């Protein structure tokens, strides 16, 4: 052995290879490389050509509180392929260029535990149906499962079940990233769906205290104003609406809050202040859907204060400045004919009968299809007033 080593060292310094020792060493190296390659093939389960590929397709569903449904945009990967796929709206996926043999399929989506489907056997040049063609069903993490369940109940209009499910999520997962969303849903349902304004106030308050940085914070603040307003607690409503404007400078609810501050003063018989607050809507939020109604209610506030001459002027400004404006949240009903009718009514209050008839006739001529909020035609009211005036003041 020592002689062999010495000869090998000597041969390394020679110009040419040894006719005896180099073939032996090289042969052992080739044999070792063969063993390593063979072992790797055994480990990967692929004894065929590495160029042989197949495909896999399938469906991914999620478990919900009432059923299963397709899971969209779940990331699917599989051993033996660099390709991945996202599930579509039907939960379907397909991955091509997958090495044949037994592989592992992995499903990843935020809010769901990572899912592994073992022993997916890929056939040569065929499309394998993952999970035997049946949908792979995965369950969201506990908090998401309950939150999604609450949303499902909400969309089904089963509001009691929605609140119960959202509350269970809050009880079981108080630190969940969905906690503020669930809290908002609970408050909103109590306010908008049940009309439990005192309960909703409490739930909105809980959201603001526990989740002050929530994206729902300004919604909750507005909700508090709405609840006080609906309970006819107008002084409290004014305070809460003002907080929307002062505390949330980027909130999209400023015009709404300012508009209902004006109404809160109206219903509190503070007509002069109501005029000031409605004017702020026009000055600060002139492009909002509340600008034209604010001008109308400036006039209406003067009418309620029995300042009929000023009311007539402001109603005319409504018609002139907003001839095609509609009431907020309505698709067709114009504001102008309502203003025109009240011009006639103000003239009646002033006992200026001829001018009242002229004003009512403009409603009939210019707005024949206009309606009040209950759907009744304004021209019918206008004609009724004309008939009454002619009957009682025929010489006017």
Whether pLDDT at 4 is above 90: no
Q: Does residue 41 or residue 144 have the better pLDDT?
A: 144
- The token pair that represents 278 in the structure block: 């409605």
Q: Does residue 1 or residue 300 have the better pLDDT?
A: 300
CA distance 67 to 245: 43
Domains 141-252 and 253-396 belong to one CATH topology: yes
pLDDT at res. 51:
65
pLDDT band per the 50, 70, 90 thresholds, residue 14: very low
Fold that domain 141-252 belongs to in CATH: 1.25.40
Q: Please name which of 160, 110, 178, 162 lies closest in space to residue 138, comparing C-alpha atoms.
A: 110
Q: Please name which of 134, 136, 168, 135 lies closest in space to residue 65, comparing C-alpha atoms.
A: 168
Q: Would you tell me how many other CB atoms lie within 10 Å of the CB of residue 77?
A: 15
The predicted-structure confidence for 277-296, as pLDDT tens digits, reads as follows: 999 999 999 999 999 999 99
The predicted-structure confidence for 84-95, as pLDDT tens digits, reads as follows: 999 999 999 999
Radius of gyration for the chain, computed over Cα atoms and rounded to the nearest angstrom: 38
pLDDT at res. 50:
53
* % of residues, the chain, pLDDT over 70: 87
- Mean pLDDT value of segment 209-227: 98
pLDDT at res. 125:
87
Map tokens 């909700």 to a residue.
223
Whether pLDDT at 376 is above 70: yes
Is the Cβ–Cβ distance between 367 and 379 less than 8 Å? yes
Q: Does residue 265 or residue 394 have the better pLDDT?
A: 265
- Average pLDDT for the chain: 89
Contacts of 332 (CB under 8 A, 6+ apart): 326
Question: What pTM was estimated for this model as a whole?
Answer: 0.79
Is the Cβ–Cβ distance between 228 and 247 less than 8 Å? no
The predicted-structure confidence for 291-349, as pLDDT tens digits, reads as follows: 999 999 999 999 999 999 999 999 999 999 999 999 988 878 999 999 999 999 999 99
CA distance 385 to 368: 15
List C-alpha distances in Å: 249 to 68, 180, 218, 254.
Answer: 42, 21, 10, 8
One-letter-per-residue 3-state SS of the chain: CHHHHHHHHHHHCCCCCCCCHHHHHHHHHHHHHHHHHHHHHHHHCCCCCCCCEEEEEEEEEEECCCCEEECCCCEEEECCCCCEEECCCCCEEEEEEEECEEEEEEEECCCCCCEEEEEEEECCCCEEEHHHHCCEEECCCHHHHHHHHHHHHHHCCCHHHHHHHHHHHHHHCCCCCCHHHHHHHHHHHHHHHCCCHHHHHHHHHHHHHHCCCCCCHHHHHHHHHHHHHHCCCHHHHHHHHHHHHHHCCCCCCHHHHHHHHHHHHHHCCCHHHHHHHHHHHHHHCCCCCCHHHHHHHHHHHHHHCCCHHHHHHHHHHHHHHCCCCECCCCCCCECHHHHHHHHHHHHHHCCCHHHHHHHHHHHHHHCCCCECCCCCEHHHHHHHHHHHHHHHCCCC
pLDDT band per the 50, 70, 90 thresholds, residue 23: very low
- Mean pLDDT value of segment 240-267: 98
Question: What's the CATH superfamily of 53-138?
Answer: Immunoglobulins (2.60.40.10)
- Mean pLDDT value of segment 203-221: 98
Is the Cβ–Cβ distance between 174 and 197 less than 8 Å? no
Q: Please name which of 20, 220, 44 lies closest in space to residue 122, comparing C-alpha atoms.
A: 44
Domain boundaries, the chain: 2-44, 53-138, 141-252, 253-396
End-to-end Cα distance, the chain: 139
CA distance 356 to 385: 9
Report the top-level CATH class of 253-396: mainly alpha
pLDDT at res. 39:
52
- The token pair that represents 210 in the structure block: 């526990």
Cα angle 207-208-214, degrees, rounded to a multiple of 5 = 80
- Mean pLDDT value of segment 263-270: 98
């Amino acid at each position: 052995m020592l002689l062999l080593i010495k000869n090998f060292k000597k041969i390394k310094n020679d110009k040419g290879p040894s006719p005896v020792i180099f073939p032996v060493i090289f042969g052992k190296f080739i044999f070792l490389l063969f063993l390593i390659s063979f072992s790797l093939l055994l480990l990967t389960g692929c004894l065929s050509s590495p160029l042989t590929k197949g495909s896999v397709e399938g469906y991914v569903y999620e478990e919900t509180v009432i059923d299963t449904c397709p899971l969209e945009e779940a990331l699917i990967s599989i051993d033996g392929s660099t390709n991945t796929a996202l599930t579509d709206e039907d939960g379907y996926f397909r991955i091509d260029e997958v090495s044949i043999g037994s592989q592992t399929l992995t499903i990843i989506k935020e809010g769901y535990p990572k899912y592994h489907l073992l022993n997916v056997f890929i056939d040569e040049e065929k499309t394998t149906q993952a999970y035997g063609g049946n949908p792979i069903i995965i369950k969201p993490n506990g908090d998401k499962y309950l939150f999604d369940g609450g949303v499902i109940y909400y969309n089904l209009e089963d509001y009691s079940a929605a609140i119960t499910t959202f509350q269970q999520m809050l009880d079981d997962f108080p630190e969940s990233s969905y906690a503020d969303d669930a809290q908002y849903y609970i408050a909103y349902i109590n306010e908008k769906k049940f009309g439990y304004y005192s309960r909703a106030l409490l739930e909105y308050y809980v959201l603001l205290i526990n989740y002050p940085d929530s994206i729902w914070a300004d919604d909750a603040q507005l909700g508090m104003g709405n609840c006080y307003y609906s309970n006819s607690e107008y002084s409290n409503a004014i305070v809460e609406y003002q907080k929307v404007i002062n505390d949330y400078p980027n909130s999209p609810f400023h015009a709404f809050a300012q508009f209902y501050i004006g109404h809160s003063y109206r219903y509190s018989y503070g007509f002069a202040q109501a005029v000031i607050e409605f004017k702020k809507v026009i000055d600060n939020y002139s492009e909002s859907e509340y600008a034209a109604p604010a001008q109308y209610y400036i006039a209406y506030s003067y009418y309620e204060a029995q300042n009929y001459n000023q009311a007539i002027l402001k109603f005319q400004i409504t018609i002139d400045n907003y001839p095609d404006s509609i009431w907020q949240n309505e698709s067709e009903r114009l504001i102008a004919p309502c203003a025109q009718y009240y011009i006639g009514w103000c003239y009646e209050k002033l006992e200026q009968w001829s001018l009242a008839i002229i004003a009512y006739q403009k409603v009939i001529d210019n707005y024949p299809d206009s309606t009040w909020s209950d759907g009744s035609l304004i021209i019918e009211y206008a004609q009724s007033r004309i008939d009454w005036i002619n009957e009682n003041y025929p010489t006017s």
